[in-house]
Amino acid sequence: MANKNYLLTVVGPTAIGKTALAIQLANYYNCNIISCDSRQFYKEMEIGTAVPSKTELEQAPHHFIQNKSIFENYTVGDFEIEALAKLEELFQSNNVQILVGGSGLYVDAVLKGFDEFPEVAMHVRQNLIALYEKNGIAYLQQQLQTLDPEYFTFLQQNNPQTLENPQRMMRFLEVTIGSEKPYSSYLGKRTQTRNFTPIIIGLTADREKMYERINLRVDIMLKNGLLDEVKNLYPNKNLNALQTVGYREIFDYLDGNTDLETATEEIKKNTRRFAKRQITWFKRTENTHWFDYKTDYNEIINTVNSIIQS
């Protein structure tokens, strides 16, 4: 077992304290952190994505933080390839490394890889093509929202441009209709060969405390200059990377559709909804060791060490 690699994977809803725990673990194990937050990849988005502070980044080596541009087409598949290559390199010097983030699909891509889907009868796609030609993209969106609300919501938050792509939408629907199972039910089911054993650590809190932390974080973002950050990005507001909570609501304010107070409350509300979806996603992940966010990190380390040494 001495040569076995372990990937400590810290998951949970936004604003729960994942970054702080990851840094403590990285310092204890003298290792690196792979960030798995699909919004923190972008160098133009700092305040609204709660990128770790300069002090936090100096406390442990981080990777995949503000390493891309909003003008790049960066997919979960690209991240999987790059993250696995980086881990291969890091494991050469330390058999414990850390993955941290709240983007469930990106976590699954690293831990499990992508999945196999069932064969679907040709007439299913032909029917969808006819319905699309008759009713347009809105019909496909409505069908996906009805038949696979979990995946529809994920796309809204992380890749809304896909919702406007009829070919991708028909693919999701043909799998869902042809197999009579949601497209999302096939995600994360096929575990590909990995050169590490994941140890998944989930952070949680009661709903009232979680919402309190989210509301406070939004207030801090605005105090730190979120409005100015979004104003600078306004000319590019239609880019895929910017279709996310904290940016959409202020774009709406800048368009004159609402006032800043209402936009702020919308950010808080939509972030709370996003956190609930994150919890739903991670709760279905098997073999996750859940801890209250206030748990002393030594208790978490003891749990990790007992697994490594078993």
Q: For residue 42, how many C-alpha atoms fall within 13 Å in the half-sphere facing its CB?
A: 24
109 annotated as ligand-binding: no
Angle, CA of 294, 299 and 304, to the nearest 5°: 120
16 annotated as ligand-binding: yes
19 annotated as ligand-binding: yes
CB of 199 closer than 8 Å to CB of 289:
yes
162 annotated as ligand-binding: no
Say whether 119 sits in a helix, a strand or coil: coil
Rounded to 10°, the helix 104-111/76-90 angle is 50
DSSP 51-109: PPPHHHHHHS-EESSS-B-TTS---HHHHHHHHHHHHHHHTTT-SEEEEE-S-HHHHHH
Tell me the C-alpha distance between 168 and 224, whole Å. 38
Strand partners, 7: 97, 198
Tell me the C-alpha distance between 282 and 138, whole Å. 29
14 annotated as ligand-binding: yes
Tell me the C-alpha distance between 144 and 156, whole Å. 12
**257 DSSP assignment:** S
Residues in the chain: 310
13 annotated as ligand-binding: yes
Which segments are annotated as binding site for substrate? Answer: 14-19
Which segments are annotated as binding site for ATP? Answer: 12-19
Which segments are annotated as binding site? Answer: 12-19
